[in-house]
Amino acid sequence: MTRNLRLLGVAWLLNVKQLTRSSFDGFLAIAWPIFFATVAFFMFEAGGNPESLIYAALGAAVMGIWTATSVAAGSALQRERWFGTLELLVAAPAHFALILLPLAFATSAIGVYCMATTLLWGRFVFGIDITFEQPLFLALAIPATILSIGALGFLMAVSFARYRTAWALGSMTEYPIWLICGFLVPISLLPGWVQPISWALAPTWGMRAIRESATGGTPLPDIAMCLLLGGIYVAIGVVVTETVLRAARRSASLSLT
C-alpha cells in the first residue's frame, strides 16, 4: 500500500516536472482557454447580465483544466511509444495503471495554472469581480474537480491505447466536454437527450461544486458525485488497461509497428 502510494506520488511529481519543462507548451496551455474566455466574456457582456458574466468566468476557468488534460492524457501512451519507454513501463513489476494514473493527474493539475490565469484575466481585463462565498468548500471542490478530470483523462488514455493518433482524438473531445459539462452554457439549455450524458461526466459535477462554493450554495453533494464518478472512471480504466495490455501482448502489437 505504502509502496503504491509512494509510486503514485513520485510519478505524479516527475510527470508534473516533465510537463512544465516547455515554456512554449506552458504558454499555450494558459493562453488557449483565455482566447475562448475572452470571446465568451465579450458575448456575455453584450448580453448585459452581470450574473451570467460571473457564471462564464467560473466556467472558463475550469475549461482550462480540461484543455490541459484532453490532449496530453489522450496521447499519453503514444508519447511513451515515441520515447521508447512504453514497453519498459508495461514490463515493470508495478501495475501499469499505477504508472498511467499519476500521469493523467499531472496533466489535470497543470490546469490549475490555466484556472488561476483565466480568473485573473476576467478580473483585471473585464472587471469580473467574483466573491467566493465558501472558500473552504472551494478548497475541496477544486482538487475534487482536478482529480475527477484526471481520472477521465486516465480512462481516455487507456481507451485510446491502440490509436497512433490519440492526440487527435483527445483534441476532438475538448469542445464537446466544454459544451456538455455546462462550463459556459447551462445544461438545461442543451437538448434533453444530452443531459443524461452530462450527468455521467464528472466535470459537470465538479463545475457545479465550484459554482455552488462561489455562490454560497450546497456544494458537498456535487463534490461527492464528482469524486464518485472519478472513482468509477479509475475502476473502468484499470479493467480497460488489463484488457488492452492482454490483447497487445497476445498480438505483439504494443509498439504498433
Partner 1 sequence: MTVPLRIFFIGGITAYRGLINWLSPWIFLPTLVIAPIFQILLFVFIGRSAGVESDEFYVIGNAVQYASIPCLFAMTHAIAGERSQQTLSYILVSPAGRLPLFLGRALPVIVNAMFVAAFSLLVSGLLLGIDVPVSSWPGIALVIFISTFSCTGLGLICAGVGLRVRETAVLNNVIFGLLLIFTGANVPIDQLPGWMQAISNRIPLTHGIEAARQVADGASLGDVSGLLATEAVIGIAYTLVGYAVLRFMELESRRRASLQVA
- The site for partner 1 (CB under 8 A) is made up of 24-25, 27-28, 31-32, 34-36, 38-40, 42-44, 46-47, 49, 52, 163-165, 168-169, 171-172, 174-176, 178-179, 184-186, 189-190
Q: How far is the CB of 170 from partner 1 (least distance, A)?
A: 9
Q: How far is the CB of 51 from partner 1 (least distance, A)?
A: 12
Is the distance from CB of 189 to CB of 179 less than 8 angstroms?
A: no
Q: How far is the CB of 172 from partner 1 (least distance, A)?
A: 4
Q: 1 vs 46, which CB is nearer to partner 1?
A: 46
Q: 28 vs 88, which CB is nearer to partner 1?
A: 28
Q: 169 vs 245, which CB is nearer to partner 1?
A: 169
Q: 3 vs 24, which CB is nearer to partner 1?
A: 24
Q: How far is the CB of 5 from partner 1 (least distance, A)?
A: 36
Q: 13 vs 168, which CB is nearer to partner 1?
A: 168
Q: How far is the CB of 227 from partner 1 (least distance, A)?
A: 27
Beta-carbon neighbour count of residue 206 at 10 Å? 33
